[in-house]
Structure 1
Amino acid sequence: MTHFSTSAAHDLKDVAGEASASGLLRYVHAAKKLGVDGEQALNLLGLDQQDIQNAQRRLPAAIHERLLMALVEQSQDVLFGLRAGLIVQPDAWSVLGYILINCASLGDAMARVASYERLVGELGVSQVEPLDGRICMSWHARVADPQVKRHMVENVLASWLSFGQWIADTKRPPCEIRFEHSLPEGAKSADYFELFGCPVLFDQLFSGIVIDHDMLMLPLRQADAGLLQALETHAQKQLSALSSDSQTWRLKVRHELSRQLQNGAINKSEVAIQLGVSGRTLQRYLRLENTHYQLVLDELRQEQAELLLSDPTQSFIDIAQALGYEEVASFYRRFKLWTGVTPGEYRNANMSE
């Protein structure tokens, strides 16, 4: 049975967001088919191929936004996001895509998007609900920049349409498409009608695809109940892993550094290796969060130093070694830089208090 949400299921506030690398691959592959050099856009952003080859890897939302806009600028196409979305790529949505393929009907597939879309990314959230006697599947983007948001929303809705028609083996168009944004400069309403195959409305309260109820019953070409159950079990495990690891890169680095400090040695290269990225890529992710490796390390060391200095049984040599310093003098200099006082002065003041 198909179940639909009648209210927003997700909170859109205070979202930094990550998304699967499969989204970047989808942009690059679509760009190639549209005659745009996706590799060049990757290079412009300082991305390595290894950064996007693993579909399970999560990358900051800002990376996805910047790549999309780099491709838009290269293509000089005001409708690049939309055209890229209309290119069917069955493997683009990773395990979510395979779940949808194996559903019994189009309605069952639509109902599962909201449940598992976080596996693809946190760039937006979807809803499926009744609308004026029909059904509307809407998408609410977690993107602030208006230009990026427009291309991304058009890309998502176009992807839904092309993928839905492919898995249901139908060319039947939706009743209408609705967009929050206005008709972009340089584009015509006729362009949208030609690409979507139905009326397209602008300046609406939300962005979504509107279909008739009977389309929910369309059978899918590759339905497999047994495989669907196995895929959903796998997806649930992935969602659980995401929930336990939904951290910023700053926190990921901090946790790895804490682990290294327990062993008394700091290795910057090892941090990147343990987090599954190159050193250059890790620095780029931290910059997107307005921080950098040394700052994260200094914050952690200062907190640990202040804690250890509160214990009078800990010598300055022991504390320096515990923080990964080879020389006590290096610890002294860094601590005074952080706090404005020497370790001894800090300990005396703390003991007095």
Structure 2
Amino acid sequence: MSILGSASVAALRQYVRAASNQGIDTASLLSQAGLSPDLLLSDEGRVEGERFQTFIHLLCEHTGNPVLGLETGDFVQPGSYSVLGYITMSCATLGEAIARIAPFEKLVGDMGVTQLEDAGDNLRLIWHCAWTDPLVRPHLVDNVFASWIRYARWLADDTGAAPTEVTLQRAAPSPEQTEAYTERWGCEVRFSAPENSLLLAKSLLAVPLRQPDPLLRRTLEAHANSQLATLESDTALTTKVKHSIQQQLLQGITRQDMIAEHLGMTSRTLQRKLSQEGVSYQALLDEVRQAMAEDLLVNTDLAIPDIGERLGYSEPTSFHRKFKAVTGITPGMFRAEAGAGSDQA
């Protein structure tokens, strides 16, 4: 079971604004995704990637809109990109702003990674999506490109500025819906492509932006680098916490206070630092437990009740229920399918 990193609350707000504009009960969808509506009040908060992905999945199912991602791009604001948005606002040219995407996009979230490639008279921006949900991925890519194009036009004060070409890995929607892409973006859009990319004429890189402020940009970049350092530190902390949880489970215990003490901090401080990364102690505990459960089921002959007890479950039924919620099958079925033993659930 993987954790899809985290994302800024600002990125979540864009989707919530788009949904609210259509009269959708976002509070209900947020709750189903395990997210509190109070998160939207935070300017510095982070959202666990898996919960954010679940929210978008629910939104896709609720609307049944095949171009949802394209339309949510209409609701981009400078704040949608966290501090990166304000850095790009203070740049002198569009090229200068684009150069800031890759170094600072982690502040927006871990949804994907941008790669820049020289293409003769053009510059190609390739976006590698890191999220795994097959329903969410095409909408997320659509949102990223739609937001980039709309925001760049706003920065340059040029509503007609257009990329040379956009390629999308997703299959083409209906002809009518395909037309929505070309109308919004003003260029050729190729579907079922080998990569998600946006091609820009290099002449566009020299386009001046509306609010250049070199001093402010340097100040904001210093702040952004500080935030990046915090995120990287927290990632290292997450690794340490998961390792400590694993060591505890091998001894049949799960004590957050003991892990915090081992790491030289209080339980409250540990929880705060994990929250800043968009995860919780319980989420990490669940991840480690699941990985260990699968390993023990496949690679040992331990009875299933003994595995549940070793992993800190007070009752065998609790272990069965949690395991099935994650995998869709019972521990016994998992073991049988893996061909590692004949114990029954």
If the length of structure 2 is used for normalisation, what is the TM-score? Answer: 0.71
Q: Deviations over 1:311-339 (max 9, x none)?
A: xxxxxxxxxxxxxxxxxxxxxxx9xx649
For residue 66 of structure 1, report the CA deviation from its aligned partner: 0.9
Comparing 198-207 and 30-39, the one that deviates more: 30-39
Q: Deviations over 1:151-209 (max 9, x none)?
A: 10010001100111111111122212111221136863212212222211112221122
Query: Does 2:120 correspond to 1:138?
Result: no
Q: How do 1:177-188 residues align onto structure 2 when only pairs under 5 Å count?
A: 177-184=166-173, 188=177
Question: Match for residue 303 of structure 2?
Answer: none
In 2, are the aligned partners of 1:193 and 1:199 still within 8 Å (CA)?
yes
Query: Does 2:243 correspond to 1:243?
Result: no
For residue 276 of structure 1, report the CA deviation from its aligned partner: 4.6
Query: Does 2:96 correspond to 1:108?
Result: yes
Query: Does 2:221 correspond to 1:232?
Result: yes
Q: Measured at CA, do residues 282 and 210 of structure 1 come closer, stay the same or move farther in structure 2, by a change above 3 Å?
A: same
98, 109, 134: which one aligns with 1:121: 109
Structure 2: which amino acid aligns with 1:195? Answer: R
50, 70, 86: which one aligns with 1:62: 50
- In 1, Cα distance between equivalents of 2:284 and 2:115: 32
In 1, are the aligned partners of 2:271 and 2:281 still within 8 Å (CA)?
no
In 2, are the aligned partners of 1:18 and 1:61 still within 8 Å (CA)?
yes
Structure 1: which amino acid aligns with 2:6? Answer: E
Larger Rg: 1
For residue 251 of structure 1, report the CA deviation from its aligned partner: 4.7
In the alignment, structure 1 segments of 5+ residues that lack a partner are 1-13, 296-333, 340-353
Q: Measured at CA, do residues 288 and 122 of structure 1 come closer, stay the same or move farther in structure 2, by a change above 3 Å?
A: farther
In 2, are the aligned partners of 1:60 and 1:285 still within 8 Å (CA)?
no
In 1, are the aligned partners of 2:274 and 2:281 still within 8 Å (CA)?
no
Structure 2: which amino acid aligns with 1:133? Answer: D
Cα RMSD, aligned residues only: 3.3
Q: Deviations over 1:97-156 (max 9, x none)?
A: 000100000000001100110111111000222225311112110122322110100100
42, 57, 62: which one aligns with 1:74: 62
126, 148, 151: which one aligns with 2:139: 151
Query: Does 2:154 correspond to 1:174?
Result: no
191, 197, 203: which one aligns with 2:180: 191
- In 1, Cα distance between equivalents of 2:63 and 2:285: 27
Structure 2: which amino acid aligns with 1:111? Answer: A
Query: Does 2:274 correspond to 1:285?
Result: no
- In 1, Cα distance between equivalents of 2:67 and 2:286: 27
- In 1, Cα distance between equivalents of 2:34 and 2:48: 14
In 1, are the aligned partners of 2:17 and 2:75 still within 8 Å (CA)?
no
Question: Match for residue 5 of structure 1?
Answer: none
Structure 1: which amino acid aligns with 2:109? Answer: G
Deviating above 6 A after TM superposition, structure 1's stretches of 4 or more consecutive aligned residues are: none
Q: Measured at CA, do residues 179 and 89 of structure 1 come closer, stay the same or move farther in structure 2, by a change above 3 Å?
A: same
Secondary structure at the counterpart of residue 194 of structure 2: coil
Comparing 106-115 and 247-256, the one that deviates more: 247-256
- In 1, Cα distance between equivalents of 2:262 and 2:282: 26
Comparing 121-130 and 49-58, the one that deviates more: 49-58
In 2, are the aligned partners of 1:29 and 1:38 still within 8 Å (CA)?
no
For residue 291 of structure 1, report the CA deviation from its aligned partner: 3.9
Question: Match for residue 212 of structure 1?
Answer: 201
In 1, are the aligned partners of 2:167 and 2:196 still within 8 Å (CA)?
yes
- In 1, Cα distance between equivalents of 2:175 and 2:257: 50
Query: Does 2:26 correspond to 1:38?
Result: yes
Q: Measured at CA, do residues 21 and 252 of structure 1 come closer, stay the same or move farther in structure 2, by a change above 3 Å?
A: farther
If the length of structure 1 is used for normalisation, what is the TM-score? Answer: 0.70
- In 2, Cα distance between equivalents of 1:288 and 1:34: 36
Secondary structure at the counterpart of residue 100 of structure 2: helix
In 2, are the aligned partners of 1:86 and 1:161 still within 8 Å (CA)?
no
Q: How many residues align?
A: 280
Structure with greater proportional helix content? 2
Question: Match for residue 325 of structure 1?
Answer: none
- In 1, Cα distance between equivalents of 2:38 and 2:287: 21
For residue 285 of structure 1, report the CA deviation from its aligned partner: 3.2
Structure 1: which amino acid aligns with 2:117? Answer: E
Q: Measured at CA, do residues 88 and 31 of structure 1 come closer, stay the same or move farther in structure 2, by a change above 3 Å?
A: same
In the alignment, structure 2 segments of 5+ residues that lack a partner are 246-255, 293-305, 312-345
In 1, are the aligned partners of 2:33 and 2:52 still within 8 Å (CA)?
no
For residue 19 of structure 1, report the CA deviation from its aligned partner: 1.6
